[in-house]
Amino acid sequence: MSPSPANTATVRNHRSVTAMTLLTLSAMVVILAVLSGCGGGDKDAVLATVGKTEILASYYEDRLVKLEENELPRAQDGTTLDMSLLEGKQEFLETLINKEVMVQTAESMGLDNDPNIVNAREALSSYESSQIMWDKVIQDPANTISPEELEAFYAKMGSSRKCQYVICNFRDDAEAAKKMADDGTDWEDVVHQYHDGGDPPSGIYEIQVPFGRYNPEFEDGVFGVEVGEVTDPINSIYGYWVLKVLGEKTGKKPPLEEAKAQILDVTHIRKVSRLKEEFLKSVEEKFELTIHEDALWKCYQGLPGGETLFREGTQDPRKQDELAPLDIASEDLDMPFYSYMSREGTKEYTLLDYKIHFDKMSVFQRPKDTEMLGGLRNKIKSDLGKTLLNYEAEDRGMFEDPVVLAKVNIKIEEMMVGKLYSEVVQIDEQVTPEQMEAFWAEHAEDYFARENRAGRLVVCQDVRKAAEARTEAAAGAAWGEILVAYGVDVENKSKAGSLEKIVLNDDNPFSVAMFALQPGELSEPFPLGDGRFGVVLLESVEPRREVEMNEVREAVGQRMRELRKEEMFQSMLAKWKEDIAVETFDDRLAGVASWTELRTVTAPENLVPRN
């Protein structure tokens, strides 16, 4: 379902851009995103008008806060502009204006009615609606954790229950197994008659269930009965579990204040899981999702036996045409398999319908016979759930939610801008030898191979350990010994501390350290920016050198084409701006927040989930 024209118009002032490279080479496709920012000033202040569209201060700040530091506007010399100063603010506002001009130009050319764009809008509306619904129904409520919930978790923290178990493919069998166990039947006999899962290596059907480690539905069943009692059947991705609680022990646990952060994290995860299960069940009931167990069993028996993801002895995924089909007897193909209620009435599917679907799946999508019947059942529910959630989102009016409309429009505008640039801005792709020679004469120095250096690095826990590592290295200790004794970075140690082809980078502390040395010298300990310290040994230097054109001919040709396209784009953009009235109000830019102000956020205590 796509938004109506009226709804589309209401969000025209919420267009977005999260890349500052609109006016640079190879970056004309503007990446759009939506997230609310923060900041002071008059958020309703109009900073510019493009045609009938107003660019508001709130929109400016929303877009600016999403930029990473390396995406911020740059001056002609390539340095990052200060976004608290007028120059930086003007440059960013100009980027927003250019994006809006491109969107309106694309719409005037009818690109918004392109079939691919129309289909994308429908798909995006469905996806974003489901996501917003998910947040409102599950994520947001899960973020609220009461003191009572925290204390209830702490009361059971550290406890563990020892249980006997059976796993059944069908609920009826699980209920029969429970009755058999309740009647006092020996557990081995219950297992012998009803267990459908694999056999444990020990031959003993027992499991230890520590509190807080398992899926809440499973754990609630285990901890919801008294010691000595048998649980009701518990559904899982494997099948239906029935467990008899043999005993419980209580382990050590830290004081509540020390455990609080961990409890909040785990409780949040558990609440999300519970709310998810409850919501999915309610949606399945509302739309009358039905899976016929007799057909499910025939389908499970027809799964290709022992199917693996990769070709034997390789990491190459099995191709779809190499996979065995679902093996269903011809007389069973018409069996009703599953059904649900749609807007048009009941939709019913047979084993044949599923076989056609299954045989087209990739090796990663197909359920496997090793996952028990529960794996197939849950895979089918998951696939159907996407359709049912879409119905539910539509019923709840999520397709008209302002946030959904804004997100969809932003992504559609991104597509239109990309389509405008790729299809309308056309250049002569041919580069003649004479043109390349002339370009090379002017730009050869741009392609000089930079000086690069090689050496060794050890990452130490603190400055004292780094100083000790340097002392031992200076005394002649092998670098491998230094890494074993002092190294704390797994990746660095896995590469034997090797640093190769390092070029000077002022933002890289070990690069700066290496370029201050002569071959054979050791650096003093230097901070790595994360509390740790490093020491480097410079082993060799490869000096800066000239490059022959033939070495980089392809790259030079590509750069020439990009420059041509940039020049044509700028010319066309100037023309588009003439056709669309643009007015800016730079005096109002003083009231918008800087990037630093927007990115400075004070996290509340007990943040859930914790970062």
Same domain? For 376 and 456 the reply is no
| The pLDDT value given to residue 177 | 97
Supply the pLDDT for residue 285: 96
CA quadruple 32, 35, 40, 43: dihedral sign: positive
| Dihedral (Cα; 273, 278, 280, 283), 10-degree rounding | -160
- Given a cut of 70, is residue 389 above it in pLDDT? yes
Q: Which of 120, 178, 53, 132 is nearest to 403 (CA)?
A: 132
Residue with tokens 């082993």: 539
My answer on whether 528 and 458 are in the same domain is yes
Structure tokens at 102: 């491109």
pLDDT surpasses 60 at 418 = yes
Give the position of tokens 């609220």.
144
Token pair belonging to 68: 């990473």
Q: What pLDDT does residue 210 have?
A: 93
Alpha carbon separation from 450 to 444, 445, 543, 547 (Å, rounded): 13, 11, 7, 10
- Cα separation, 415 vs 399, in Å, equals 20
Residues 383 and 316 in one domain: yes
What's the rounded Cα separation, in Å, for the pair 565 and 425? 7
20 and 63 Cβ atoms separated by less than 8 Å: no
Predicted local distance difference test score (pLDDT) of residue 41: 63
Please, is 429 exposed, middle or buried when counting C-beta atoms within 10 Å of its C-beta (0-12, 13-18, 19+)? exposed
Where in 134-239 does DSSP place strands (E)?
Answer: 159-168, 206-210, 234-235
* Cα–Cα distance for residue pair 90/32, rounded to 1 Å: 19
Residues 243 and 289 placed together within one structural domain of the fold: no
Cα 215 to chain centroid, rounded: 22
What pLDDT is recorded for position 426?
94
Place of tokens 């056309």: 426
Dihedral angle at the C-alpha atoms of 187, 190, 191, 197, nearest 10 degrees? -130
The phi and psi torsions of 360 (rounded to 5 degrees) equal -95, -5
Dist CA 143 CA 140 (whole Å): 5
Task: Tell me the pLDDT tens digit for each residue of 312-358.
Answer: 888 889 998 899 999 999 999 999 999 999 989 999 999 999 999 99
**b/e map of 138-163 (b: 16 or more CB within 10 Å)?**
bbeebeebeeebbeebbeebbbbbbb
Q: Is the pLDDT of residue 88 over 80?
A: yes
Condensed to tens digits (0 to 9), the pLDDT of residues 26-39 reads: 233 332 333 333 44
Same domain, 237 and 315: no
Q: Which residue has the higher pLDDT, 34 or 46?
A: 46
Q: Half-sphere exposure (CA, 13 Å, Cβ side) for 460? A: 21
Residues 380 and 291 in one domain: yes
Residue range 405-417, pLDDT digits in tens: 989 998 999 999 9
Average pLDDT over residues 479-483: 95
Instruction: Name the residue with tokens 């130009």.
Output: 105
pLDDT at 327: 96
Q: Is the pLDDT of residue 5 over 50?
A: no
| Within-domain flag for 511 | yes
Q: Are residues 376 and 313 in the same domain?
A: yes
Contacts of 122 (CB under 8 A, 6+ apart): 1, 2
Q: Residue 13: which of 65, 49, 41 has the closest Cα?
A: 49
pLDDT of amino acid 3: 33
Q: Are residue 293 and residue 391 in the same domain, yes or no?
A: yes
Measure the CA–CA gap between 116 and 263, rounded to whole angstroms: 47
Q: What is the CATH number of the domain that holds 241?
A: 3.10.50.40
Cα separation of 104 and 556, whole Å? 34
Q: Which residues lie below 8 Å from residue 520, measured CB to CB, with a gap of 6+?
A: 537, 538, 539
The Cα–Cα gap between 472 and 200 comes to 52
CA distance 343 to 287: 10
Q: Is the peptide bond before 336 cis (omega within 30 degrees of 0)?
A: no
Which of 526, 542, 558 is a domain's end point?
542
- Tell whether 403 is covered by a domain: no
Higher pLDDT: 586 or 25? It is 586
Question: Is 312 part of a structural domain of the chain?
Answer: yes
**Residues 107, 578 contacting (CB under 8 angstroms):** no
SS3 (DSSP) at 237: coil
According to the model, what pLDDT value does residue 602 have?
63
DSSP letter string, 61-119 = HHHHHT--GGGS-B-TTSPBP-TTSHHHHHHHHHHHHHHHHHHHHHHHTTGGGSHHHHH
Number of domain units in the chain: 3
**Listed residue (376, 291, 303) closest to 335, CA to CA:** 291
Nearest of 16, 103, 23, 97 to residue 416 by alpha carbon: 103
Is residue 314 included in any domain, yes or no?
Answer: yes
Q: What pLDDT does 23 receive?
A: 31
Q: Is residue 373 part of a domain?
A: yes
* Dihedral angle of Cα 371, 176, 216, 137, to the nearest 10 degrees: 90
Backbone angles phi, psi at 500, to 5 degrees: -130, 145
Q: What is the DSSP letter of 51?
A: T
Domain extent, residue 169, equals 158-252
pLDDT of the residue at 609:
59
DSSP secondary structure code for residue 139 in this structure: I
Q: How far is residue 126's CA from residue 147's CA, in Å, rounded to a whole number?
A: 37
Distance separating alpha carbons of residues 388 and 396, to the nearest angstrom:
12
Q: In this predicted structure, what is the pLDDT of residue 18?
A: 30
Residue 462 belongs to some domain of the structure: yes
Chain segment 506-535, per-residue pLDDT in tens: 889 999 999 999 999 999 999 998 899 999
Sheet holding 582-584, edge to edge: 53-56, 46-50, 582-584
Mean pLDDT computed over 88-101: 96
Among the candidates 510, 542, 574, a domain finishes at 542
Q: Strand ranges (DSSP E) for 214-326? A: 234-235, 240-250, 290-291
Minimum mean pLDDT among 22-26, 135-139, 397-401, 434-438: which range? 22-26
**Average per-residue pLDDT for the chain:** 89
Residues 487, 457: Cα–Cα separation, whole Å: 9
Residues 228 and 313 in one domain: no
Backbone region of residue 26 per phi and psi (left: phi > 0; alpha: psi in -120 to 50; beta: other values): left
pLDDT digits (tens, 9 = 90+) for 251-309: 889 999 888 888 898 899 999 999 999 999 999 999 999 999 999 999 999 999 989 99
CA separation for the pair 337, 326 (Å, rounded): 14
Query: Is 272 within a domain?
Result: no
- For residue 315, the tally of other CB atoms under 10 A from its CB is 7
Distance from C-alpha of 480 to C-alpha of 174, rounded to nearest angstrom: 58
For residue 549, the one-letter residue type is M
What's the pLDDT at 21? 29
Q: Is residue 297 part of a domain?
A: yes
Same-domain check for residues 239 and 333: no
Q: Please indicate, yes or no, whether the overall pTM of this predicted structure exceeds 0.75.
A: no
Domain end among 542, 575, 598 = 542
